[in-house]
């Protein structure tokens, strides 16, 4: 079997396990935080702690993989995932809000390392296969959309004295499976010459228009998605929709995030990366329109589906564009900086999500996302105009 395709298959399965954990945390962390927090405005703090943990470790994780290889980095991340899951489960038994936040912080390390699955697939892929490799790895996340919410429903009440403890314990099992899979990947490490070569300073790499637009697409796509997704279970609870409906909506949201990845790479190759990212912006605006139109389960469901597909186009497109911006010796710093920006944005939006929902409500949250999406769309159009003369020479441009 072709090594690149073998890696894509294994990394896609790892992505599925990572997103299973993520979707379980999406469905439970906000509600568990709401149950344990004295001040309900901080209900989404465990979600923020999860993202902060990833933000604090994403650059060190990238540099560690540069030195020790992807396989070691991914395995260590999964070990931290097991530790974090055990802490969260114990916090549920102890009814300790701050311990829950600490466990989520440790779990964030697993999330940080897992975000490099998509880049690892690109490492060994040819130029023609690169966008498809990234897209197909992310497609593995569809398994998380199915398994995660179902797992959270099954194990939510496993222990009567500790709601959600069973859901948190299930996270550790998925991390164990991930360790087994990453032991089989075969990604060539950097050569000694590439390890010694530091490449251009990050400040020079970051001044490239392609880098700016790639990162902007990723952080706004993730930021808007995270802002609205985190608040959705709380908004549905406020509308007196049952937990099963909230889990159903999140399930379809995660499916919508990753199912398009089976063809996003093909769309990028055919229509160009900028056009696909612009389509993502339009879909996000459509999500906001549906969310503002009503509070029925159908509105939440359709809004989250549009949000998921929009995120996919913006994120896969941004990741593909980012791979054009750096040499192999520069990948650790460029990829690390990109993901650090994403996690900082996610931390801010997840924390502000609970505060905005509590203080201002669901309608204002959606309205606040609009100018950020319009700004991102304008940047993409500027970049498309900038590159138009050379676009015929590169199907990704």
The pLDDT assigned to 194 comes to 57
Q: Which residue has the higher pLDDT, 191 or 185?
A: 185
Residue 205: CB atoms within 10 A of its CB come to 19
Q: Is the pLDDT of residue 196 over 70?
A: no
The mean pLDDT value for 58-69 works out to 89
- Under the banding of pLDDT at 50, 70 and 90, the label for residue 397 is very low
Q: What is the pLDDT of residues 203-251, one digit of tens each?
A: 999 999 999 999 999 999 999 998 898 888 888 988 999 878 887 898 7
Least confident piece of the model among 117-126, 176-185, 239-248, 349-358: 349-358
The pLDDT assigned to 48 comes to 79
Domain ranges of the chain: 3-187+201-393
> In the chain, pLDDT over 70 holds for what percent of residues?
93
Sign of CA pseudo-dihedral 211, 212, 218, 222: positive
**CATH code for the domain defined by 3-187+201-393:** 1.20.1250.20
If you compute the radius of gyration of the chain from its CA atoms, what whole number of angstroms results?
A: 20
Query: pTM for the complete prediction?
Result: 0.78
Pick from 26, 37, 13, 12: which is nearest to 358 by CA?
37
Query: Encoding tokens for residue 328?
Result: 């192999």
The pLDDT assigned to 193 comes to 58
Q: Is the pLDDT of residue 368 over 80?
A: yes
């Amino acid at each position: 079997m072709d090594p690149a395709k073998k890696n894509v298959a294994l990394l896609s399965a790892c992505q599925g396990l990572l997103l299973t954990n993520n979707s379980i945390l999406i469905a439970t962390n906000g509600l568990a935080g709401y149950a344990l927090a004295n001040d309900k405005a901080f209900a989404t703090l465990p979600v923020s702690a999860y993202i902060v943990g990833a933000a604090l470790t994403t650059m060190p994780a990238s540099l560690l993989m540069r030195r020790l290889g992807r396989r070691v980095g991914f395995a260590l991340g999964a070990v931290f995932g097991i530790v974090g899951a055990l802490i969260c489960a114990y916090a549920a038994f102890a009814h300790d809000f701050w311990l829950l936040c600490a466990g989520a912080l440790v779990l964030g390390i697993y999330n940080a390392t897992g975000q490099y699955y998509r880049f690892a697939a690109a490492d060994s892929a040819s130029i023609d296969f690169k966008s498809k490799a990234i897209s197909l790895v992310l497609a593995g996340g569809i398994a998380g959309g199915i398994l995660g919410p179902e797992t959270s429903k099954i194990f939510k009440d496993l222990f009567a004295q500790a709601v959600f403890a069973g859901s948190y314990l299930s996270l550790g099992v998925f991390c164990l499976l991930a360790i087994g899979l990453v032991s089989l990947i075969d990604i060539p490490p950097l050569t000694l010459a590439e390890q010694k070569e530091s490449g251009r300073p990050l400040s020079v790499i970051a001044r490239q228009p392609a880098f700016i637009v790639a990162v902007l697409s990723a952080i706004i796509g993730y930021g808007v998605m995270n802002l609205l997704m985190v608040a959705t279970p709380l908004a549905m609870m406020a509308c007196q929709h049952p937990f099963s409906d909230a889990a159903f909506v999140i399930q379809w949201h995660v499916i919508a995030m990753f199912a398009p990845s089976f063809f996003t790479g093909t769309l990028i190759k055919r229509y160009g990366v900028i056009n696909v990212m612009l389509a993502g912006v339009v879909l996000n605006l459509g999500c906001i329109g549906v969310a503002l139109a009503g509070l029925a389960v159908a509105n939440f469901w359709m809004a989250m589906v549009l949000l998921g597909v929009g995120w996919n186009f913006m994120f896969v497109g941004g990741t593909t564009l980012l791979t054009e911006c750096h040499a192999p010796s520069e990948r650790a710093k460029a990829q690390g900086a990109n993901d650090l920006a994403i996690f900082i944005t996610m931390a801010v939006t997840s924390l502000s999500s609970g505060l905005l929902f509590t203080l201002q409500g669901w309608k204002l949250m959606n309205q606040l996302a609009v100018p950020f999406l319009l700004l991102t769309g304008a940047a993409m159009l500027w970049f498309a105009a900038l590159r138009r003369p050379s676009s015929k020479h590169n199907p990704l441009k």
